[in-house]
Structure 1
Amino acid sequence: MNSAIASGARRLVPALGAVLLSACTTLMPVQEGQKLVGQPQAAIQAMFGQPTDAFRLPDGTSRWIYSKQPMGQQAYGADFDRNGNLTSFRNVLSTPELYKAQVNTWTKWDVAEHFGVTRLPVEYFPRMRNEVWSYRFRHEDVWPSLFHFYFDDAGVLRRTQITPDPLYEPDERFRRW
């Protein structure tokens, strides 16, 4: 009987370790990703899976995006040097990252490279002649919000806007007074 228990325990320990490792990458992906700086792309893919977006950047480096959109509020950027080794891992849908967008300079391609392809419905406002891409995020790491990028017909970023995320707004119709 004791050998059966010991055998079962030997099989359970590796499985439990895999579950705990998976929980860490789910609950603290930035911390886990930063531990892998210097590792090759294969190590990042083994930890986080296939990226939702992958870009070859003009300087020969590359960026993988792991987006939690459309319902999540994060997208993780994994940057690699020319040799394919991880140089940084961060949430690209944070307030400081979103503020890096350069109005009148960036294009749709620049926004996609930095934040991933939008997974929320694209809107078009004919009177403004602007296409709008939106991303869920936590403004200042607190408030559920949407960050909107407005592009002109040439695909140039002309303005940005932050609004509350209606997904998290209380529905006043059902409030009892």
Structure 2
Amino acid sequence: MSKRLSVALACAAAFALAGCAQPWQRFTPGEDQSALVARLGPPRESYDLPDGGKRLMWPTQPMGEVTTAADIDASGKVVTVRQVLQPSEFYKAQIGTWTKKDVLVNFGRPVETSYFPLMKRQVWTYRYQEDNVWYQLYNFYFDPQGILRLTQKTPDPLHEPERDRPF
């Protein structure tokens, strides 16, 4: 293969991969939040952060598995942009310390809420994809005071094969 063809193929592959970059991978720390909003559209959720900044969120729930979250400082500059519906983010939740507000600010509105009267627990559920392979639900269990007491991941039945099919 000629050197010119090799270079052309390498460039084409680089352009193709660049087009696959996720929204949370295409940002520059320090850019104005208006540039981010221009690229992603208006956020569907916005939460105040303790340092005077804001967390802007673009969820794909109820059927999607991605929520892009951008932390904006008090002056309106982008600090970080990331996908928050993933194990490394879920595992930051602190049992016995976090409240419903902490979960809401970190992950956005849940796809579903339930109440288990025998446990006396409210459950917030988020749909996500683990390792870009397994469709999962991540559940946060809160006691009557709104304190996080348990987390759990389960397979997402939306993507499970039907078990009741005749053979």
- TM category, shorter: 0.7 to 0.9
Gap regions ≥5 residues in structure 1: 1-23
Give yes or no for the alignment of 1:42 onto 2:39: no
Cα pair 1:36 1:44 within 8 Å, conserved: no
The correspondence for 2:136, drawn from 142, 145, 162, is 145
RMSD value, Cα: 1.5
4+ long deviations beyond 6 Å? none
Question: Kindly, what percent of the aligned residue pairs are identical?
Answer: 43
Is the aligned partner of 1:31 residue 2:28? Answer: no
> Aligned runs of 1:132-171 on 2, under 5 Å?
132-171=123-162
- 1:95 to 2:99 alignment: no
Distance 1:84 1:175, change over 3 A: farther
Q: Which amino acid aligns with 1:117?
A: R
Contact 2:112 2:126 survives alignment (8 Å): no
Supply the AA of the counterpart residue of 1:47.
R
Return the alpha-carbon distance in structure 1 between the equivalents of residues 25 and 88 of structure 2. 18
Give the corresponding residue for 1:74.
66
Structure 2 unaligned spans of 5+: 1-18
Paired position in structure 2 for 1:62: 54
Counterpart residue number, 2:44: 52
Equivalent-residue separation in structure 1 for 2:89 and 2:106 (angstroms): 9
Is the Cα contact below 8 Å between 1:37 and 1:88 reproduced in 2? Answer: yes
Deviations 1:27-71 (A, max 9, x none): 621222xx3321111111111111111011111121111111110
Question: Match for residue 121 of structure 1?
Answer: 112
Aligned length: 149
Aligned to 1:158, what secondary structure does the other structure show?
strand
